Amino acid sequence: MLKESIKEQILIKVKGEAFKKHPFFYLYDLSNITSKLELLNTYAADNISLYYAMKANSNFEILELIKKHPNVKGVEIASSGELDIALSHFKPLQVIYTGPGKRPYELELSLNNKIRFLSAESLTEVYRISELIEIHNLGKADILIRINPNYDIKNSLKKMGGISSKMGIDEDRIIDVLEEVLKFKNINVAGVHVFAASGIIEHKDLLEYVEYIFRLVSKIESICNREFKIIDFGGGFGIDYSCANKKFNVEAFFNHLKMLVDNFQYNNKELVLELGRFITAEAGYYISQIIDIKESKGKKHIIIGGGINHIRLIRKHPINIIPMGNRLIYDKQPAVKDEFVEIEGPLCFGEDKIDEDIFIKEANIGDLVVISHVGAYGYNVASLEFLCHPKPNEYVCCNA
């Protein structure tokens, strides 16, 4: 069910001049983001460092809100473009740069800006970093080494570890690689990066992974005779897109994490969380006018102002209809009443679908389709240039 406060904000925007020409936009509820940050702050221990994963949503107002929150330590990025944006909001020592295939230019840019950490995803990257430090006479740089652990996290939305992957260095090779890397005089391995999956709803699944990583780190430290100060777990906290009201239990996760930290005597280690989806997803809404309703071979198709050029959904999201009571264009124009329909965009492309076989109680041409939980990986991953359609505006509201 759409909150009344959000519905009111949507209707305000619909009355604006911009909507008459381009009847679609994103709306971000900043109070929802603040609530998520406060929830994390309530239960996280002192040795937890929260970084915002900027890839989820790089909207200016959202970054400004997150930057000002006292318990956000910084931002995680994965490109030179994100680095430019990050440095316009955050200090260099608040930035962690992750991701495979970093170009030499990107490594050089990061080193020259003296960001906090580069996460090295391969031995090639380590050699490039060392060479650039020497060329530019930068002294010594702190890095993280990313590991692809032999662990498959259950029930996750997206796996990046425990499988054959371009991410990180396989656990089976990590000792040999580290023994080589630790010989570099101009590189300090401050810790390890072990992001393996995203979109985890059951906190116990993530805790089992944390325990596995703690054991792995203890083993590596013992073999290499080296203590690492940082373990970067990446993200993982999921949100429920299904309207089943499932929630990642933040309180239980941090309570059990504290027990694991005590058991492994890891209170002196900094544990980094790079959260994006969990912080912004539920704050976002995509709104579009229904442009047309067509019936084809016994099935109705609701066509809205934007499709995959505005929003690429890889799962079903909550969808609501706001009736607008527009005049009929002609007497027998199609409408929807208690039917399973397709919701699609305007692109001349068969895969331009928003949802398939969704039950809609009532909808008419001119009504609004409101798609919820699109504050993460919505605007940022859309094919915005495809067919040169106009881009949706982005608005914020409800800044507590």
Would you place residue 313 in the very low, low, confident or very high pLDDT band (cuts 50, 70, 90)?
confident
Cα 139 from Cα 158, distance rounded (Å)? 38
Cα 323 from Cα 337, distance rounded (Å)? 13
Establish if 52 belongs to a structural domain: no
Q: Which domain holds residue 359?
A: 4-28+282-397
The neighbouring-strand residues paired with 55 are none
**CATH number of the domain encompassing residue 200:** 3.20.20.10
CA distances in angstroms from 178 to 96, 129, 146, 165, 188, listed in the order given: 20, 15, 11, 19, 11
Catalytic residue among 348, 388, 397, 398: 348
Establish if 305 belongs to a structural domain: yes
Residues 109 and 201 in one domain: yes
Residues 156 and 259 in one domain: yes
Q: Do 28 and 61 meet the contact criterion of CB atoms below 8 Å apart?
A: yes
Residues 264 and 309 in one domain: no
The string over 41-56, giving b where at least 16 C-beta atoms fall within 10 Å of a residue's C-beta and e elsewhere, is eebbeebbbbbbbbbb
In this prediction, residue 161 carries a pLDDT of 58
In this prediction, residue 159 carries a pLDDT of 54
Into how many domains does the chain fold? 2
pLDDT at residue 283 greater than cutoff 90: yes
Residues 109 and 229 in one domain: yes
Residues 249 and 350 in one domain: no
pTM of the predicted model as reported, rounded to 2 decimal places? 0.94
> For residue 49, how far is the Cα from the chain centroid?
17
Where does a domain end: 275, 298, 323? 275
Residues 179 and 136 in one domain: yes
Residues 161 and 15 in one domain: no
Establish if 56 belongs to a structural domain: no
Residues 8 and 128 in one domain: no
Return the residue matching tokens 């991410």: 167
Task: Kindly state the average pLDDT of the residues 226-244.
Answer: 91
Q: Do 354 and 345 meet the contact criterion of CB atoms below 8 Å apart?
A: yes
Residues 115 and 225 in one domain: yes
- Dump pLDDT digits (tens) for 36-87: 999 999 999 999 999 999 999 999 999 999 999 999 999 999 999 999 999 9
Task: Kindly state the average pLDDT of the residues 177-197.
Answer: 94
Establish if 227 belongs to a structural domain: yes
- Dump pLDDT digits (tens) for 3-37: 999 999 999 999 999 999 999 999 999 999 999 99
Residues 126 and 212 in one domain: yes
Task: Kindly state the average pLDDT of the residues 191-205.
Answer: 88
Establish if 371 belongs to a structural domain: yes
In this prediction, residue 189 carries a pLDDT of 98
Residue 389, token pair as written in the block: 């359609």
Establish if 75 belongs to a structural domain: no
Burial (CB < 10 A; 0-12, 13-18, 19+), residue 37, is: buried
**CATH number of the domain encompassing residue 293:** 2.40.37.10
Establish if 64 belongs to a structural domain: no
Task: Kindly state the average pLDDT of the residues 194-200.
Answer: 81
Where does a domain end: 224, 257, 275? 275
Closest by Cα among 97, 134, 150, 136 to 119? 97
Phi/psi of residue 46, nearest 5 degrees: -65, -25
Would you place residue 88 in the very low, low, confident or very high pLDDT band (cuts 50, 70, 90)?
very high
Establish if 46 belongs to a structural domain: no
Task: Kindly state the average pLDDT of the residues 219-239.
Answer: 95
Where does a domain end: 275, 305, 327? 275
Would you place residue 160 in the very low, low, confident or very high pLDDT band (cuts 50, 70, 90)?
low
Burial (CB < 10 A; 0-12, 13-18, 19+), residue 334, is: middle
Is pLDDT larger for residue 157 or for residue 341?
Answer: 341
Residues 166 and 233 in one domain: yes
Q: How many residues does the chain have?
A: 400
Would you place residue 245 in the very low, low, confident or very high pLDDT band (cuts 50, 70, 90)?
confident
Return the residue matching tokens 């198709």: 301
Q: Where is average pLDDT lowest: 66-75, 144-153, 316-325? A: 144-153
**Is 398 assigned a catalytic role?**
no
- Dump pLDDT digits (tens) for 110-146: 999 999 999 999 999 999 999 999 999 999 999 999 9
Q: Do 193 and 168 meet the contact criterion of CB atoms below 8 Å apart?
A: yes
Residues 120 and 262 in one domain: yes
Mean pLDDT score of the chain, rounded to an integer?
A: 94
